[in-house]
């Protein structure tokens, strides 16, 4: 699969690069970002942390705002940030041009309803296609972690819970924890998956955690001044589900923090350490 380089910038002794390629899962061109720490040029095989961003974002938000490169260079972690949805003139978006559905709002699932089923297969892209591309073109060890924010936090939890053994570490910032019972999730699930709420359960972390065959420890940070906390995110539902299933979850409610990248930048170090410890032993 051909990779076209879009940009390249030196950062903390390594390289932040953006690439474009044609996705077979999504039937469109996609752009992703990769941070290659300095160890990548020294012949080392390195673990990969996949970062999934939230509604309206692209690969650029995390790479430009989170401040993750310094510690990624120290720990020897490759970071890969895909886009949040398929893109392009051929890809259907929201008919009303709303920001919380369609382009920039792929919800990291595999759509089954038209006109979205042909393009909106972000789960397959993130879990299978993109890692295969990374592992064929970059010096990786085969160890994978996954994390994300908001819609991307939902995506990280679901990707790991649906694919036991695929990832060795998992975390999230302010994830949409119970999407089948919040406005963002109900809107997306009804259009991507149809009206059968039984099918929605397959993409809800608070449901999947009870059925998980792997007990991968989860680190979640949530700001207590997040405007979306009560109506959209519902971390207490995830916490209750984890407790009932005896699934290891560390949920930290951070006083004074909101939903922004100021919040993510404040605690990204803890998350990178969490992943480095699991991925590098």
- Closest to 170 (Cα-Cα) out of 152, 182, 192, 196: 152
* Active-site choice (85, 147, 150, 266): 150
DSSP string over 180-230: GGSHHHHHHHHHHH-S-HHHHGGG-HHHHHHH-SS---EEEEEETT-TTII
204 has catalytic annotation: no
CB 180 within 8 A of CB 190: no
124 has catalytic annotation: no
* Active-site choice (259, 271, 274, 275): 259
* Side-chain-facing half-sphere of 218: CA atoms under 13 Å: 34
Residues 6+ apart with CB under 8 A from 85: 91, 102, 103, 104, 105, 106, 120, 122
271 has catalytic annotation: no
Distance CA 97, CA 86 (A): 15
Cα-trace Rg, the chain: 17
Distance CA 66, CA 36 (A): 16
CB 94 within 8 A of CB 49: no
Residue-wise burial string across 233-259, b where 16 or more C-beta atoms lie within 10 A, e elsewhere: bbbbbbbebbeeeebebebeebeebbb
- The DSSP secondary-structure symbol of 43 reads T
CA triple 67-62-29, angle to 5 deg: 145
* Active-site choice (177, 226, 247, 266): 226
What is the distance of C-alpha 201 from the center of its chain?
Answer: 19
List residues with catalytic annotation.
Answer: 150, 226, 259
């Amino acid at each position: 699969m051909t990779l076209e380089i879009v940009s390249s910038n030196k950062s903390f002794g390594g390289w932040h690069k953006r690439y474009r390629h044609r996705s077979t899962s999504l039937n469109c061109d996609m752009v992703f970002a990769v941070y290659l720490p300095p160890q990548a040029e020294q012949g080392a095989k390195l673990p990969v942390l996949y970062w999934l961003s939230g509604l309206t974002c692209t690969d650029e938000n995390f790479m430009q705002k989170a401040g993750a490169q310094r510690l990624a260079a120290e720990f020897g972690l490759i970071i890969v940030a895909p886009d949040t949805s398929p893109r392009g003139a051929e890809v259907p978006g929201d008919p009303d041009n709303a920001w919380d559905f369609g382009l920039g709002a792929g919800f990291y699932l595999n759509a089954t309803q038209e006109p979205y089923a042909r393009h909106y297969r972000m789960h397959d892209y993130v879990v299978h296609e993109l890692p295969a591309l990374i592992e064929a073109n970059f010096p990786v060890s085969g160890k994978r972690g996954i994390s994300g924010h908001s819609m991307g936090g939902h995506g990280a939890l679901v990707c790991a819970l649906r694919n036991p053994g695929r990832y060795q570490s998992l975390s999230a910032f302010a994830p949409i924890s119970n999407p089948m019972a919040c406005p963002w999730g109900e809107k997306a699930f009804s259009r991507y998956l149809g009206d059968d709420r039984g099918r929605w359960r397959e993409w809800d972390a608070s449901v999947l955690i009870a059925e998980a065959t792997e007990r991968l420890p989860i680190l979640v940070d949530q700001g207590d001044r997040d405007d979306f906390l009560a109506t959209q995110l519902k971390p207490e539902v995830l916490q209750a589900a984890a407790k009932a299933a005896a699934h290891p979850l560390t949920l930290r409610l951070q006083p004074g923090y909101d939903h922004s990248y100021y919040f993510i930048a404040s605690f990204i170090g803890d998350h990178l350490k969490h992943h480095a410890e699991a991925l590098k032993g």
